[in-house]
Structure 1
């Protein structure tokens, strides 16, 4: 009986430790975010590109991946736009986590925080289900289960959830033929920071900087390359 009690206590202690570690991780993220917010008080990139016109954002799941020819044309169109606006990409790894990596890079200056970003986005989707469920064309629990997996591609629903969770305006420079710029803003609050991402339509996300300001980071794995 005493042995059973000890095992139960150990199990309870392990659960509490796990919960405490999760709380510590969240507190660490919040602390880093606060530091980033202070350091981004003068958002020169946003001010310089404030003339760009955005279309209303509608959260949606990912569409079909374009064929090689269309994807190549889309990439060329995106590259031309970035040059026009004086922007450069910090390449994210093409491991299925690129959207979360790009957001992590903008928030933390470290794409390896992508697991934390994904976890925060899932919490947002789970706790505020009514905000997002109508945009999901499948059972919502199945969508959450799928999106929790590392390597699962983020979509425009997760972008909206990230904007809501982190209180950020996500500025998306795209390869869409008719839409070069999309702003995703928090649903019920004013944004406190701006995150700049490029979106090679249905293929890949990268983190954006002004030309000359891209940090020098050696990728640990092969990033996404053009066909």
Structure 2
């Protein structure tokens, strides 16, 4: 009996230590990147400072546009990128693109998308009352879906990411009538900005100034894995 108790206590301690280590790792990475990121944020912010953003309404994904509409949307987004001197760091279109793009903005590595998804789902779970009214299904079902790798992120997960990482998420979109959307964290002033492109209902990428798109080299998985 004592041996079982010791094992259970060791397991609990290990889980706690892992959670603490995750938090410390995240802070370490964020601190390393913060100075560089603030400079990038300011440069990008100036390029779109004259644009009016619309109020963001959290929602789950709508219908995927047909091929013709999707093609026109992509052309519209490409024209806007050129107009505002922006360029995309392409992330993999495996269903995790929103989380990959956010991970690239946060940690300069899209491979940390699993960590971003985990933190977003944790935010959605712990603050259910703030989000459940936007979900037209059983909330537990929605959370279960969103935990799965490959499940597409939506406008509700964007809000949860803004809240969790205390970030203003700036979307340059392909919507005909909505070029620019800002998602602000609730009840907090953002400490950073994350810049994403949104080929509407199809794909997210990470945004940089033209000529500033980094070349990503596969890194050994560490820290957040």
1:169 is matched with: 168
RMSD: 1.5
Q: Aligned pair count?
A: 217
Structural mapping, 1:53-132, within 5 Å: 53-132=52-131
Normalised to the residue count of structure 2, the TM-score between the two structures is: 0.91
Alpha carbons 2:91, 2:205 under 8 Å: kept: yes
Is the contact made by 1:90 and 1:207 (CA closer than 8 Å) also made in structure 2?
Answer: yes
Distance 1:12 1:93 in 2: 40
SS in 1 for 2:38: coil
* Matches of 1:33 and 1:219, distance apart in 2: 19
User: How far off is 1:70 after superposition?
Assistant: 1.2
The verdict on how the C-alpha distance between 1:62 and 1:219 changes in structure 2, with shifts beyond 3 A counting, is farther
Partner Cα distance (1:19, 1:176) in 2? 44
2:222 maps to which residue? none
C-alpha separation in 1, matches of 2:94 and 2:161:
19
Distance in 1 (alpha carbons) for counterparts of 2:17 and 2:199: 39
Which consecutive residues of structure 2, in runs of 5 or more, have no partner in the other structure?
A: 220-225
Bigger CA drift: 84-93 or 29-38?
Answer: 29-38
